[in-house]
């Protein structure tokens, strides 16, 4: 198979852009590990008082930092409070690892189970069950990026449109409304040495023309159109985003509404 000059140029651009983004990710993101301490920004004590879930910010000095949900077990001493350091033996829920300023909402649903919602833009939902210093977890809504199929790409002025088929799995016992988000690579006036990204978003099911909704405990494909807007001096360089993400809008419906997003943050949140 031969590679045409334009193909080679594009492959080179994507490789360099990927290396730049990977380098930035390493510089600004840490890793969620146990026995790691930082400063607590929020605390959530279990109904029995046996556990405390807490949002912890861990500083990496000049390179930034990261945050995550940890939990601690009652050892006879008072739990640490907000603005104090988490205990050295606290357990990090590694799946909740996020950037320094990420928003978290936590709700205990039993003496040893809590729900975590991470972020306001790239919403992630987790159900965590703790047992001593161990935990098990499942994610509420997931997308299988390995199965994503990209179809048509069009550019009209500063607007890009990408149609795709995405595969979504709902692990919850309630319907979930969601949107799909991601990033498209584009370049500034200096080309590959001016790598940038533009948000792309889809909130409609192309087959029904309505919002994206998946039923309880369902696996389903969705036909979507991702759209984004660049600056006039920028050039789009990517019709295949590296990954797409789901942002939960609502969980449940009507009288059974569990969570509803308003203005990017959870405003209605009841136990399931």
pLDDT at 260: 54
Q: Tell me if 222 sits within 8 A of 212, measured CB to CB.
A: yes
DSSP 141-176: EEE-TTT-EEEEEEEETTEEEEEEEEEEEE-SSS-E
What residues pair up with 229 in beta bridges, in sequence order? 159
What pLDDT score was predicted for residue 194?
58
CA–CA distance, 14 with 237 (Å, rounded to integer): 8
Residue by residue, DSSP assigns the chain as: ----HHHHHHHHHHHHHHHHHHHHHHHH-----TT---EEEEEEE-TTSSEEEEEEEEE-GGG-EEEEEEEEE--SSPPP-TTSBPPTT-EE-GGG-EETT--EEEEEEETTEEEEEE-SSS-EEEEEEEETTEEEEEESEEE-TTT-EEEEEEEETTEEEEEEEEEEEE-SSS-EEEEEEEEEEEEETTEEEEEEEEEEEE-B-TTTSSBEEE-TT-EEEEEEEEEEE--TT-EE--SS-S-EEEEEEEES-GGG--EEEETTEEEEE---
Question: Closest Cα to residue 69, out of 47, 96, 51?
Answer: 96
The DSSP bridge partners found for residue 191 are 188
Contact 67, 55 (CB under 8 A): yes
pTM for the structure as a whole: 0.66
Q: Provide the Cα torsion 179, 185, 189, 192; round to 10°.
A: 170
Could you give the CA distance from residue 69 to residue 71 in angstroms, rounded to a whole number?
7
Summarize pLDDT for 113-153 with one digit per residue, the tens: 998 988 765 578 899 999 999 999 988 899 998 999 999 88
Domains by residue range for the chain, with CATH: 39-139 (no CATH), 143-269 (2.60.40)
**Which residues does the chain have with pLDDT short of 50?**
1-30, 262-272
User: Based on the number of CB atoms within 10 Å of its own CB, is 186 exposed (0-12), middle (13-18) or buried (19 or more)?
Assistant: buried
Q: Answer whether 128's CB lies under 8 Å from 112's CB.
A: no
- pLDDT (0 to 100) of residue 24: 36
């Amino acid at each position: 198979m031969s590679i045409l000059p334009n193909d080679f140029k594009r492959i080179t651009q994507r490789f360099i852009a990927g290396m730049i983004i990977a380098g930035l990710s390493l510089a600004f993101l840490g890793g969620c590990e146990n026995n790691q301490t930082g400063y607590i920004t929020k605390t959530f004590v279990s109904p029995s008082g046996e556990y405390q879930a807490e949002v912890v910010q861990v500083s990496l000095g000049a390179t930034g930092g990261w945050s995550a949900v940890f939990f601690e077990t009652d050892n006879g001493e008072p739990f640490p409070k907000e603005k104090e350091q988490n205990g050295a033996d606290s357990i990090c829920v590694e799946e909740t690892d996020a950037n320094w300023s990420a928003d978290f909402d936590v709700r205990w649903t039993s003496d040893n189970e809590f729900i975590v919602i991470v972020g306001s833009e790239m919403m992630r939902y987790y159900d965590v069950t703790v047992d001593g210093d161990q935990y098990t977890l499942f994610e509420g809504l997931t997308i299988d990026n390995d199965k994503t199929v990209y179809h048509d790409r069009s550019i009209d002025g500063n607007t890009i449109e990408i149609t795709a088929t995405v595969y979504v799995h709902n692990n919850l016992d309630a319907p979930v409304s969601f949107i799909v988000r991601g990033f498209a690579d584009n370049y500034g006036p200096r080309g590959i040495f001016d790598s940038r990204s533009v948000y792309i978003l889809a909130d409609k099911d192309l087959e029904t023309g309505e919002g994206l909704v998946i039923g309880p405990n369902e696996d389903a494909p969705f036909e979507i159109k991702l759209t984004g807007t660049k600056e006039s001096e920028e050039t789009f360089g990517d019709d295949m985003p590296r990954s797409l993400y789901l942002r939960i809008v609502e969980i449940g419906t009507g009288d059974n509404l569990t969570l509803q997003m308003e203005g990017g943050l959870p405003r209605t949140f009841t136990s399931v």
